[in-house]
Amino acid sequence: MNIIYMILLKIINIILKLFGKQGGNIIGKIAVKLNPNMLAYFKINSPVIAVTATNGKTSTNNCIGYTLEKAGYKVVSNKEGNNMETGILSTLVKNATITGKIKADYITFEVDESYVPKIFKTIKLDTLVVLDFFRDQLDRNGEVETLILKINEFLKTYKGNLVLNADDPNVARLGKANPDNKKVYYYRVQKYEYATTGMKEAGEGKFCPFCKTRLEYEYYQYSHIGKFHCPNCDYGNNEIYKEAKNINLKDRTFEVEGITYKIQDNSIYTIYNYLAVLSVMNLYHIDTEDIIKAFSEFALNNGRLEKLDIKGIPTIINLAKNPTGANVSLRLLREDNEEKELLFVLNDNVADGFDVSWIWDINFDGLKENGVTRIITAGKRPYDIAIRIKTSGFDYEKIIPCENLDKAVEELYKTNTKKYVIANYTSLQPTRQAIFRLRG
């Protein structure tokens, strides 16, 4: 029966393509309707690598795929970021023969945090990468602790490679889920220029997950990411597999084991993601030259630190779905000495979460002092974000809320000052399109 389903799904895929549609989750949605256990149909003989996290899944998964392809391998991946069961099914259907065989050297997935157990109960996972856990859409996802416990439960019987961010106490704890699994690899980034001794932005892991003692930090890189340890039970003292040092955001370089890597981005959080990719590449013995080359070229250009030139005005667009996403974007803006204007687009559609109170966890302090001369707000909740920014002390006469996105973009480009654009989940692509429309 499954073979008939596959033929049917393939035909639907061809029809969708004829109409110029990517498909997204549609194929997967139909597949689950036909057979709720469709995942089990696929015969996968190549290593499966998965990336999960609150922030950074799409970029990291794409970078893993890009680097493997640079090294000459055939990769199947859910590049567009459809990361729930239906998205993964869509990717598999599109890349499988009708008998369910996947021809690839590697399969890489980004996976929504809550779907990890379900998907990899069926599909054999070779490497799991966990980047970070932050508060994210509380009205949809609930508390972050619930998600962590879910993944921890899955890991208790997992025996594959586990690549973990040693500087996130919510992530590093997962390394202890299965004491029999020796294949746990921690990566870390040494203190960067703007690291602080106190927490600057809302964060999660304040207490030791094992003994509830308050964690001590040598420094914070951003949010709760930093060098921590538990003064009571010594949690945090892990053997490090890969460590980045000499972080130079200006030159966009960092160093690991004596080798300098150049990247396109200049943000601390993406360096963490590159370290995750580097760890994976080393586990699969990918040639260093290929990694260096791939890292120097990789750029997602999909509203993730996307750099554009709009009528000669430099513009940086970044997605921010949660406080940490917005905070790292604002960090970038503060670390840039030039004068700039900000466009903040905030929607409250189903996929964003209806609750916009997370914007109060964004640190907007000192924008004027850091060279921000004007702020435009837009999206379905332009006034909420305007109130938030006003309350932080930024002169409200220099905040312009616009209910219409095209008007907001038009307003933004009335001056020649450099632009930073921060947009949340469902507002990101409409914002990019509005900017592209203006560019003509």
Partner 1 sequence: MKELKILYLYPDMLELYGDYGNIQVLKYRMEKRNITCKIDQYSIGDAAPDFSSYDIVFAGGGADNEQSILAEDLVKYKENIKQAIQNGVFFLLICGAYQLFGKYYKGVEGNIIPGLEIFPYYTEAILDRKKRCIGNIVLEVELENNKPTKVIGFENHGGQTFNSLSHFGKVLYGNGNSFGNSEEGFFIGNVIATYLHGPLLSKNPEVSDYIIKYCLERKYGEKVELEVLDDTFELKCREQMLKRLIK
Quick one: 145 or 297, whose CB is closer to partner 1?
A: 145
Would you count residue 357 as binding partner 1 (CB under 8 A)? Answer: yes
Would you count residue 354 as binding partner 1 (CB under 8 A)? Answer: yes
Residue identified by tokens 């004829």 is 18
Would you count residue 355 as binding partner 1 (CB under 8 A)? Answer: yes
Stretch that binds partner 1, among 32-40, 75-83, 137-145, 283-291 (CB under 8 A): 137-145
Kindly determine how many residues on this chain lie close enough to bind partner 1 according to the rule CB under 8 A.
Answer: 30
Would you count residue 136 as binding partner 1 (CB under 8 A)? Answer: no
Quick one: 127 or 426, whose CB is closer to partner 1?
A: 426
Closest C-alpha among 387, 335, 401, 389 to residue 365: 389
- Which of positions 381-410 make contact with partner 1 (CB under 8 A)? 381, 383-384, 386-388, 390-393, 396, 399, 401, 403
Cα separation, 418 vs 437, whole angstroms:
18
Would you count residue 153 as binding partner 1 (CB under 8 A)? Answer: no
Q: CB of 357: closest distance to partner 1 in angstroms? A: 4
Quick one: 128 or 385, whose CB is closer to partner 1?
A: 385
Stretch that binds partner 1, among 62-70, 136-144, 174-182, 248-256 (CB under 8 A): 136-144
Would you count residue 340 as binding partner 1 (CB under 8 A)? Answer: no
Q: Residue 100's CB: how many other CB atoms inside 10 A?
A: 17
Closest C-alpha among 312, 272, 316 to residue 134: 272
Closest C-alpha among 328, 348, 319, 352 to residue 429: 319
Would you count residue 138 as binding partner 1 (CB under 8 A)? Answer: yes
Q: CB of 284: closest distance to partner 1 in angstroms? A: 38
Closest C-alpha among 40, 62, 41 to residue 51: 62
Quick one: 145 or 234, whose CB is closer to partner 1?
A: 145
Phi, psi of 39, rounded to the nearest 5 degrees? -55, -35
Quick one: 30 or 386, whose CB is closer to partner 1?
A: 386
Q: CB of 164: closest distance to partner 1 in angstroms? A: 22
Separation in Å, CA 145 to CA 51, 134, 192, 236, 273: 18, 10, 28, 18, 22
Taking the mean position of all CA atoms in its chain, how far away is CA 13? 28
Quick one: 146 or 415, whose CB is closer to partner 1?
A: 146
- Which of positions 278-317 make contact with partner 1 (CB under 8 A)? none
Q: What x/- string results for residues 183 through 212 when contact with partner 1 is judged by CB under 8 A?
A: -------------------x---x-----x
One residue of 135, 331, 374, 419 binding partner 1 per CB under 8 A: 135
Q: CB of 393: closest distance to partner 1 in angstroms? A: 8
Q: Residue 368's CB: how many other CB atoms inside 10 A?
A: 14
Taking the mean position of all CA atoms in its chain, how far away is CA 371? 27
Quick one: 207 or 436, whose CB is closer to partner 1?
A: 207
Cα separation, 332 vs 221, whole angstroms:
13
Closest C-alpha among 376, 434, 439, 426 to residue 406: 434
DSSP per-residue codes, 90-136: HHHHHHB-TT-BB--SEEEEE--GGGHHHHHHHSPPSEEEE------
* 307, β-bridge pairs: 316
- 412 membership: H or E segment, kind and range: helix 405-412
Cα separation, 406 vs 401, whole angstroms:
12
Quick one: 278 or 375, whose CB is closer to partner 1?
A: 375
Binding footprint of partner 1 on the chain (CB under 8 A):
135, 138-139, 143, 145, 202, 206, 212, 354-361, 381, 383-384, 386-388, 390-393, 396, 399, 401, 403
